[in-house]
Structure 1
Amino acid sequence: MPINTSSQDTGVTGASKFVTSAAGNTVGGVSRTLGNVTGAAGRGIGDTITGATGSAGKPVGDAIGSIGTGVESGAAGVAKGVENAGQWKR
């Protein structure tokens, strides 16, 4: 089945879109993965602190877990922006 492309997606423009899309998806994927790993690690460390110290360490554990979740959310936003830019989306 032939791929449907508009006249704007041929020649140099089409090649540029292919390269930037591949680069954007790669960088976006790596950013998302790093964010997910950092978020999971932060939550894990927070849970460990809370578990080891009980109610006395719960505020610190919760704060570290929240930071991990914030980093994960931020990285996901950056990844989506990079992917969109690679696909020439606004």
Structure 2
Amino acid sequence: MPLENNQNKGVTGAAKFVTSTLGNTVGGVGRTVGNVTGAATRGVGDTITSATGSAGKPVGDAIGNLGTGVQNGAESVSKGVENAGQWKSS
């Protein structure tokens, strides 16, 4: 007969459920905001590049890269929040 693991029962189990739900929700919202912000910023950068041609390309590229950075940062933070909510260590 295997020994029963009581780690996810009682108060600990309830706390893990609440923090996991909260972490997943906050992480999902953060990821969505990051994706929307990244896409919008890259769109602005592409628009600047298209409208100004080669003269504005460095500015358009810089704005687009900023959007990618924001998106990647939000993804990383969101994953950390989700992991924390699931009581995972890095």
TM-score (norm 2): 0.94
Superposition deviation, residue 6 in structure 1: 3.4
Deviation string 1:30-88 (CA, Å, 9 cap, x unpaired) is 00000000000010000000000000000000000000000000000000000000000
Give the drift of 1:25.
Answer: 0.1
1:20 deviates by 0.1
Deviation readout 1:5-40 (Å, 9 max, x if unpaired): 831000000000000000000000000000000000
- 1:38 aligns with 37
1:28 is the counterpart of 2:27: yes
Q: Which runs of 4+ in 1 moved over 2 A?
A: none
Structure 1 alignment gaps of length 5 or more: none
Match of 2:12 in 1: 13
Task: Indicate the residue corresponding to 2:52 in structure 1.
Answer: 53
CA distance in 1, matches of 2:31, 2:5: 31
Amino acid at match of 1:35: G
Percentage of matched positions with identical amino acids: 76
Q: 3-state SS of the aligned residue for 1:6?
A: coil
Q: State the distance in 2 between where 1:35 and 1:51 align.
A: 24
